[in-house]
Amino acid sequence: MRLDKYICDCTGLTRSQAGKLIRQRAIVVNGAIAKQAAMKLSAGDEVQLDGEVISPIGLRYLVMNKPEGYVCGLDDPHHAAVFTLLDEPAVEKIHSVGRLDVDTTGLLLLTDDGKWSHRISSPRHHIAKTYRVWTADAISEDAAARFAEGVVLRDEPTATKPAQLELVGSHEALLTIHEGRYHQVKRMFAALGNRVERLHRERIGQLQLPTDLELGEYRPLTDAELAAVFIGND
Ligand code: URA
């Protein structure tokens, strides 16, 4: 691989920025200052940038405990995006796996692997997502049965897929859904005449929100956590 391409893969910089670093004598290959952007690298060559060995970024699989007040898109002029909480090279390549509302907290996956995020978000794979819900009014006795049957959301022709509701208290429950419609949980409770006051995602597949993450913190998923997302879905 060409040296400038390798620098791009390691840093997320453009080819011309990589070329500039080479001209500035900031790149060292196997102990010697590199002079040519087109230099061919072989397996095992060591490249340093400003004295630090660099290696390709590769695909990233991150888990965040999303705080309130942040959005998962880039199109909201009034709220900061969750990506501003990331300290990652080439952060613009990272997207969230589905979206949580600005006031929803909890388990959010982030990646630059589009195939992986599609596998998790696509309704075809019906990966379970579990939310802890706090409601304005007491949750009605028939709520679990109605969610298990499917409810028709406002302005939508088809009922929701069967969902599981586990009551925790009169105004608190765990709801597991297998699709990801717009504001789905809030609209499901609205269909029962109730209102969601607070929403926190706790689980995707068999992956629980890690207990070591404070709100706003993130880290790479471990191999076991990566596998847990798909347990029961292959
Ligand atoms: N359902 C909602 O209503 N909001 C979310 O953020 C996620 C699921």
CATH number, domain with residue 106 = 3.30.2350.10
- Closest approach atom of ligand 1 to CA 188: 3
For the CA of 103, the closest atom of ligand 1 is 6
Q: Which domain holds residue 221?
A: 61-228
Nearest to residue 194, comparing CAs of 126, 137, 129, 234?
A: 137
Contacts of 168 (CB under 8 A, 6+ apart): 132, 174
Please indicate whether residue 198, judged by its CB atom, sits closer than 6 Å to ligand 1. no
Cα(46)–Cα(29) distance, integer angstroms: 6
Place of tokens 């690298």: 41
Is 101 an active-site residue? yes
* Inside any domain, residue 234: no
Residue 233 lies inside a defined structural domain of this protein: no
Report how far residue 209's alpha carbon sits from residue 175's, in angstroms, rounded to the nearest whole number: 15
- Kindly report the protein residue whose alpha carbon is nearest to atom 4 of ligand 1: 183
Same domain as 120, residue 85: yes
- Please give the number of the atom of ligand 1 that sits closest to the Cα of 180: 8
pLDDT tens across 104-121, in order?
999 999 999 999 999 999
Predicted confidence band of residue 126 (pLDDT cuts 50, 70, 90): confident
Tens digits of residue pLDDT in 54-94 = 999 999 999 999 999 999 999 999 999 999 999 999 999 99
Structural domain count, the chain: 2
The answer on 83 and 124 residing in a single domain is yes
Q: Which of 4, 9, 45, 101 is catalytic?
A: 101
Residue after which a domain boundary falls, among 53, 74, 91: 53
Whether residues 72 and 46 share a domain: the answer is no
Q: For 200-211, what is the mean pLDDT?
A: 98
What's the whole-number mean pLDDT along residues 141-168?
Answer: 96
CA–CA separation, 216 and 69 (whole Å) = 10
Is the model's pLDDT at 233 over the cut of 90? Answer: no
**Does 92 map to a domain?**
yes
